[in-house]
Structure 1
């Protein structure tokens, strides 16, 4: 092994791993090596215990009761909003809508912001590297309005061709979209530059932050976008949690997407008046315990620190990439100059699903398939890839185990 990056000496990964109960289990009689973090992250004990404690000690509905349990549940739920607002540096907690995740967040923007503004001849701009959640909602509202969806291209390295994206910001574009970090390639997109160009043209920009928030600090004010969506289960939190940040002026102008309880001021059969944002967009009983857990996840991130997390993950990414390059016949998809810890690859002559199944038998969990990114697979001319996605609780030793398992799989399939 040559030119391998030095191992950081100040990051106590074994102490970190001890906080994640599931990492201690075995699969098919082998110690688990979990490399599917871009799909969903594992949860520290503090998150699990926070959810457990909510149901054991504080369970009640929010904003509906003046009894003690109701007040405790409301305080915890709204406390999660406060933590999320600070986590992404929102100007106000009232700019943050709590959702089930990025998919719901993007659909909310599609139907509450985009659809009322779109007409025949208008366009929405996205990119070839997007997750389906940042493509399909736009196609649905475009079909209803007569608008079209355009996709900016990428190059073979998996980098967005930024000058082409900017060139495509033509007058008919009413909304621009981009992923902060690609879920397949790990590519980090220049959101600030894109946002600056959008502002010059009066075009709102939505950013899919699902794969960015688990790995790097997010500052929506510094980024300059109009909408930013995150998903809790990818950032140590429970499933069914997430948020949409939006500029206050957009939220005030947008009609509600869902109707029901709690999002109203007054209801009568002659008409309904709605609550102020963000509650206008939060009809029904939310995932209260989930957001209690997500608040604990944010506490955990802050206790470790994104500086330490980023340094460790970048070291792991460099090491994993070097080891994979040693394997004959292996092709890596996406080698952008700035990446988060995701590596997608294929072995020549092998099917991605077969490889993932055989790796699983050796205790190694990776993702196989199109990763909800059909247009990206079409760009590279493949039906599927394998994806190894890392988190700060992974180790070099796990990467070594993964490489040994991959070499065994190669021998079986070649």
Structure 2
């Protein structure tokens, strides 16, 4: 693969970095202040003025819907490889991606409807999401079962005449706290008697459907991520038309696998951006801060950590770019090993770099005076979101072991050892 970004991508990188300098970094504190002011006034779950002000500027700058490749409805969409360095920049500030209509779970939901939805579903739901008219949520994980194995999901989707009746409880439903959230993509079981991977289906559920109840927001290390939020949601005798099903009954597991590939790589791209930001803050602090007669930058332990952080970031970036390249050229299924690897590597790398940055900042590093604490909380969450590390390691190990299984003739492929 070619490791050089195209002139088009380099120009967009420069434009996006300039946008961050002009509009994102200067408003970083304002965003959090606005959320806190809303919370003091009794409701943190309202859209922030700052993001709504910045969205038209992002569209005017041609930095909108960059995540969606090969869609006639989003001609500005880039390939995964082209999008990688831009998504990385968006990861430098936790809330920035929404400004460009490139934030989860909307990106995954839009890609799901684009890939698996009917034309009617695309007109009703995808096009308004692409315009940024409203937001969405993805309802898959459940509190009562180990949802890292999606076949465990218990939410029931039963056909009754021309409707589906849905009953179940979901949680970690990101985006469901936002009052602009208008549509849920819900995964549940339509046929418990079918094959293990043919029991599940996905349906589109308007958020205002009777029987839908947001129970509570969940916190991540004390952060509620308002106004976005990660909610527990009850679905009780929720009825939607049969036309709201995606692709067809029994195709939910297949859709989930297709949806999570792009979602995982986007998270990894943003993780690299978060690590880059943490390293920058770490270096600036180390140069400016003196302890025991020397700047922190002169301390050998700090130098070692800065060097190791740079190595780790570059390794993770190259692996992510390889996965993006393979997704573009041979497809998500063939690239599943690379996707699993980056999902393991990138969040763990970012957590280590951010942790070293926190150490350089001392007490300030764990406070709200720097973005490091919330960055760390987000990255720790990513070791669980879209599949925990253990699941990805298990899948990767099976793929590796499969290379050494019996050959068609029955003989065993043996590793070459010294002396053989």
TM-score norm. by structure 1 comes to 0.26
Q: Larger RCO: Structure 1 or Structure 2 (Cα < 8 Å, ≥ 6 residues apart)?
A: 1
Identify the structure with the greater helix proportion: 2
Q: TM-score w.r.t. structure 2 length?
A: 0.26
